[in-house]
Amino acid sequence: MKNFKHQTHQKEKNVIVTIKRLGINGEGIGYYKKKIIFIPGALPGEVVVVKIVKDYPHYLQGELVRIKEKSPDRVKFPKDVNPEIGGLELAHLAYDKQLEFKKDNVVEALKKYHPRGYAKYKIKNTIPAPDQWHYRNKAQYQIERERGKTKLGLFAPNSHRLIDLPTMPTQNKDTQKTERAIKDLIDKFHVFIADPRKHLDGIKTIAVRQSEATGEIQVTLITVGHKIKNLIPLAKEIMKLPNVVSVYQNETDWNNPQVWGNKTEKLLGKNQITEEILDKKFALSPRAFFQLNPVQTTTLYSEALKLLDLTPDQTLIDAYSGVGTLGILAADRVKQVVGIETIPEAVRDAKHNVELNHIKNADYFQGSVEKVLPQLQKGGLTVDALIVDPPRTGLAKSLIKTLLQVKPKTFVYISCNPSTLAQDLVLLSEAYDVRVIENVDMLPQTPRCECIVKLTLRN
Ligand SMILES: C[S@@+](CC[C@H](N)C(=O)[O-])C[C@H]1O[C@@H](n2cnc3c(N)ncnc32)[C@H](O)[C@@H]1O
């Protein structure tokens, strides 16, 4: 029966659908024969001709063929870029509507999981990014050689089909130029490119990150295998490219599903590049997390610190601390800062950044927040104020349990995923009220947003 149904929709191929709303990934959502259909690139209010490409038990996946009735909010998609590429999911939507969508995403996530009192939360309008194009400070492109031709870019969503990216309109121009220049050098020096079909070692990914403040560029060649012929001559040529101050090698293997492997080694140049936020400096190693939109990062952190509203007698926990950004920015407002972060290189950077900024009251610990925080607390640490900035997966349940016992009085949560945020708030709202959620647009043209939530302890 299932196969039969599958064939029915496949045969129908092109159908007409009216788009009702946008989904969390920015795709248009409509209904065909009462079944929900997702159509990337379609906008609410549009009537579109769609090809049904997949018939799943609970939904259909459609491909936009033609727009019959166009939305007034539609804008031109950037030229010379394959629209399938990730990172431009909303590039066809007017920017003010993108901001509204990001706010709605938070509202919808709250409605879905309904933490206590959610209807009364004040969700502010999304703070726009001053630059909506060329803002990304880091490019991380995959490289492949197919029938003698080298491709450098990103995989099409949910596939292993690499799309070559000669231009990328959200990428800053220096990092994009550096990526393309490295591609040419790899061809010139006949450096091996990893071949996933034959499992041959070589370069797999090229990560290029630039500091907004100093212009310095750090390059990491992620390789499958360690000894790659001509890697050092290649690194020497890369060092001659404008602004490049270091070349690293990160080594991975075919069994690792992550992009980065665990071994990182400097081939040439400086250990770190230095970024600046507000009046503080931050040295960054290749593996350490740093926000992708440096201009908007200042806004995000300033808003978070305003909401934290710290006092000089407090101990602040900077949980998921990366290179120590938030804690270091807050250090002169509190008695003590304690940061916790899993990636050892990031913790080393954080400790270095404490010294770089002549801070005397901050220390950073390596490990998971869920394990290290209870240990430190048992050792006598008081937790007056807390800022959490977890990855998209949100907070570990065991950490939430700890927080509900410790009950820090001052608590701010920065989230890059409204869905896990709403689920965490269901548990946290047992003890905390949420008054305000701020939304900052860090990644224009994408469906992603960054929320800052102030949690107030109920009496
Ligand atoms: C969204 S980043 C935030 C970093 C930093 N607050 C900033 O703004 O630059 C999340 C960080 O949490 C770290 N991380 C992930 N899981 C963790 C865990 N369970 N405990 C501690 N740190 C974790 C990641 O390595 C990453 O540096």
Q: Classify domain 2-69 at the CATH topology level.
A: OB fold (Dihydrolipoamide Acetyltransferase, E2P) (2.40.50)
Task: Report helix, strand or coil for 402.
Answer: helix
400 CB contacts (<8 Å, ≥6 apart)?
424, 427, 428
Q: Which secondary-structure segment (H or E) carries 71?
A: none
Which architecture characterizes domain 138-271 according to CATH?
Beta Barrel (2.40)
Tell me which fold the domain 100-130+277-457 belongs to: Rossmann fold (3.40.50)
Contacts of 52 (CB under 8 A, 6+ apart): 9, 10, 12, 13, 15, 32, 37, 60, 61, 62
Boundaries of every domain in the chain? 2-69, 100-130+277-457, 138-271
Say if ligand 1 is within 6 A of residue 89 CB. Answer: no
Same fold yes or no, 2-69 and 138-271: yes
The whole-model pTM stands at 0.93
Ligand 1 test: best mutation among 209, 281, 287, 320, most atoms within 8 Å of CB? 320
What pLDDT score does 12 carry?
Answer: 61
Instruction: Read off the pLDDT of residues 141-176 as tens digits, 9 standing for 90 and up.
Output: 999 998 889 999 999 888 889 999 999 999 999 999
* End-to-end Cα distance, the chain: 57
Written as six digits, the tokens of 200 are 């041959």
Q: pLDDT value at position 196?
A: 87
Q: Are strands 47-55 and 60-69 parallel, antiparallel or unpaired?
A: antiparallel
The candidate with the shortest Cα–Cα distance to 133, out of 164, 167, 101, is: 167
Q: Among the options 228, 334, 388, 416, which is catalytic?
A: 416
For residue 399, which atom of ligand 1 is closest to its CA? 19
What residues contact residue 271 under an 8 Å CB cut-off, 6+ apart? 246, 283, 285
Reported as a single tens digit per residue, the pLDDT across 247-277 is 999 999 999 989 999 999 999 999 999 999 9
Binding annotation for S-adenosyl-L-methionine: 291, 320, 341, 389
Residue 366 half-sphere exposure toward CB, CA atoms < 13 A: 10
Please list the ranges in the chain whose pLDDT falls under 70.
1-12
Q: How many CB atoms lie within 10 A of CB 236?
A: 14
Cross-strand pairs, 264: 250
Res 8: pLDDT? 47
**How many other CB atoms are found less than 10 A from the CB of residue 327?**
29
**CB of 414 closer than 6 angstroms to any ligand 1 atom:** no
d(CA 33, ligand 1 centre) in Å: 44
What is the distance in A from the centroid of ligand 1 to the CA of 71? Answer: 39
* CA atoms of 19 and 38, how far apart (whole Å): 9
Q: Which ligand 1 atom is the nearest neighbour of the CA of 416?
A: 1
Establish whether this prediction's ipTM goes over 0.95: yes
Ligand 1 lined by 304 (C-beta under 6 Å): no
Whether residue 366 has its Cβ less than 6 Å from ligand 1: no
> In the annotation, is 451 catalytic?
no
C-alpha–C-alpha distance, residues 264 and 222, integer Å: 9
